[in-house]
Amino acid sequence: MEDVEVPSYFLCPISLQIMRDPVALPTGITYDREGIERWLSCNKSPTCPVTNQPMPKPVDLTPNHTLRRLIQAWCTANAFRGVERFPTPRPPVDRALLASLIEDARLPHSRLAALKRLKKLVSDSESNKRVVATAASGVVDFLLSVVTSNVENAEQEHEEEALSILHALQLSGDELRLLLDRNHGLFEALTATMRKSNFQSRAYAVLLAKSAVSVSPPDTLLGLPEEFFKEVMKVLRDRVSHQATCAALKVLYAACQWGWNTAKAVEVGAVKVLVELLLDEPEKKESEMMLVLLDNLCRGPKGAAQVVSHAAGVAVVSRSILRVTPGTTERAVRVLHSISRHAATPEVVEDMAQVGVVSKLCLLLSGECERSTRETARDVLRMHSRVWRRSPCVSPPQLKVLSSL
Q: Reduced to 3 states, what is the DSSP secondary structure of residue 393?
A: coil
Burial class, 86, CB count within 10 angstroms (exposed 0-12 / middle 13-18 / buried 19+): middle
Burial class, 288, CB count within 10 angstroms (exposed 0-12 / middle 13-18 / buried 19+): buried
CA 276 to CA 315: how far, in whole Å?
12
CA 193 to CA 210: how far, in whole Å?
14
Whether omega before 13 lies within 30 degrees of 0, making that bond cis, reads no
CA 272 to CA 198: how far, in whole Å?
24
Q: One digit per residue, pLDDT tens: the chain, 405 residues? A: 557 888 999 999 999 999 999 999 999 999 999 899 888 877 767 889 999 999 887 788 899 999 999 999 999 988 888 888 888 888 888 888 888 999 998 888 898 999 999 999 988 887 888 888 877 668 888 998 888 775 555 577 888 899 999 998 888 888 888 888 888 888 998 998 898 878 888 999 999 999 999 999 999 999 999 999 999 999 999 998 999 999 999 999 999 988 899 999 999 999 999 999 999 888 888 999 999 999 999 999 999 999 999 999 999 999 999 887 888 999 999 999 999 999 989 999 999 999 999 999 998 988 777 888 989 999 999 999 899 988 888 888 888 888 887
| Fold of the domain spanning 8-81 | Herpes Virus-1 (3.30.40)
Domains of the chain, residue spans: 8-81, 269-405
CA 302 to CA 116: how far, in whole Å?
47
Of 124, 121, 101, 125, whose CA–CA distance to 113 is shortest? Answer: 101
Which CATH superfamily hosts domain 269-405?
Leucine-rich Repeat Variant (1.25.10.10)
CATH topology agreement for domains 8-81 and 269-405: no
Query: pLDDT value at position 153?
Result: 52
CA 331 to CA 372: how far, in whole Å?
11
E strand segments, 130-200 = none
Query: pLDDT value at position 2?
Result: 55
Query: pLDDT value at position 69?
Result: 94
Cβ atoms of residues 374 and 365 within 8 Å: yes
Pairing between β-strand 62-63 and β-strand 30-32 as defined by DSSP bridges: unpaired
Q: What is the pTM of this model?
A: 0.80
Strand pairing partners for 9? Answer: none
